[in-house]
Structure 1
Amino acid sequence: MKVSRTCPACGYTADYSSAPLANARHPRHSCVKHRRGLDQARRRTERLLARVTRECTHPKARHAHGTRAAYVKDRCRCTKCSAANTAAGRIVTRERMYGRWQPYIDADPVRQHIAALRAAGIGVERIAALAGLSVSHTRELAEPGRGKSRGTRRVRPSTATRVLSIGINETSRAPHSRVDATGTRRRLQALIAIGWPAKLLANLLGRRPNSLQRSMTGQSVTARTAHDIATLYERLWNSRPPRMTGKQRAAADAAQAHAAAQGWPTPLAWDDIDTDPTPPALTASPVRQHEMDEIAIERAVAGDSISYDDLTAVEQQEVVRRLTAHGSSIREIAARLGTTKRTVSRRRASFGAA
């Protein structure tokens, strides 16, 4: 017959085979040890309860409940996460039975791509940031066999996909890395050649004019500067600068005159502005008022947001002549070009039209 004893101080309870044995053994128990065990059990229970409702705290991914990632990474033991982990384990077992289980692939293509990226000036830290990997893992892939290590010979397919998707181009470079300034210089020169003043370009880029001048004369620029100027060039290469006021027209004419004196090509002179050989220097044309821009004329005739003041004298004459030949009245021409009927009438009279 068993005899039970309970400590009134700590609540420790034990069963003994006889009363004499209980009287001898029970007073020897440690209340401190029993309380410590109760406290440890309480903490374990709290941790288990917390795991069930734990939200994802991963720094680089948001794991959803009901997935194996939440079960493994976030230690969530809810029913859905546990079921997802079990299902994933069954898939692995089945794939292994059929000989189709390949959780890793050869790391050589990944290593060769990293070597090509580094040869193009894209560093290990930048590669790690673009691929979402740790710097140490990326460096181990890039430099295998250092010291006693044999290096990484296999990688997961997802890791290989992320690394191989990084392009060998300027956008992959770190913002403060240095790149060749040829394309940047040509883009700025081409914009100035069609009338965009350097000061206005600097304002659009959020820079000072002397900083923009350094980008035009230096041998290299930062990758961020090259990207910003390339983006601005794509927006402005087929647009004319503002010519609403006399000051704007004077600035645009001065920019074109300076570009003509330097022999800078316009955007249409380039097929690939980054890699084309430098074309022969253009002959200077100091007097802008005698030039004729066929694109500007066609846009003005079509009513494509080109006003009378945006055109040079010879362009104004040609636009009025073409619109008159198309049968447009003085009122219609004035409305299309944003000018007065008197101005149009004078232009028509200059080439003998009523």
Structure 2
Amino acid sequence: MTTDRQPPHGSEARYKGSKKRPPCRCRTCINGWTRAGQKRLLGRLEGRPASVPAKPVTSHLNMLLAANMTHQQIAGVSGVDVSTVRAHAAGRFPNIHRTTAEKLLAVRPLRRPTTGWVPALGAIRRCRALYTLGHGPKAIAAANPDLQLRTVEYIVRGKRIYITAACHNAVSDAYRALCQTTGPSDQVRQRAAKEGWHGPLAWDDIDDPNEQPDTEGVVRLIKRPKAFIDLELVARRTAQGHTAEQIAAEIGCHIRSVVRARRRAEMGVAA
């Protein structure tokens, strides 16, 4: 018993069949196949061919994506399969079926919701992706005035299933502002690596719950080499009254490295 959904009798698809179902040659399907061919011929004669160039559709889809719509949203609004939306957004095919093109070109950018609740998954992925770049919660919160430090920390830990639409929009704006730059925090990079979080390049549709991260070809961040610590310099600056933060900024290392260097200097241990 087959579980494939059969097209109705009288349709061209039922007449042609597929790899999983045999073609039907009943009189109803033959008539349907004939009518479909005549319809295509009339369309070509009237200047409405069955296939049209896909380039305008690709441009339109990229405009929708730039307006913060996802592939999933475009598919839901247009009634076109999401795999078709992805393929034509990437420009993989030179032509597209005319009716499919008409459905996609009819989609208009959606206004971002400002009230209500939305799934937190997209915000969680965005914050964690920024962690892989070295942007900590303070940097993320500072990137948008509507974000609070505690809110970012809760989102990163995955403590929220739903968040307000306003919070989602604020995280999205902060993500766009920071996702193409690297941050200064090695600590959050190390946490992201330990947790196995993925950076911006790993996501095609970061809001899609069915999206799996693509790690092929993603460049791993190279760990910064340790800075040379001059124990005599550390001891001299300490005697002059400099703080650990000031010495770390001068040497170009972490504060903890200065604290350890002070201990080694006190014990007379060589660098």
State the TM-score, normalized to the length of structure 1. Answer: 0.28
Based on CA coordinates, which of the two structures has the bigger radius of gyration? Answer: 1
TM-score (normalised: structure 2): 0.36
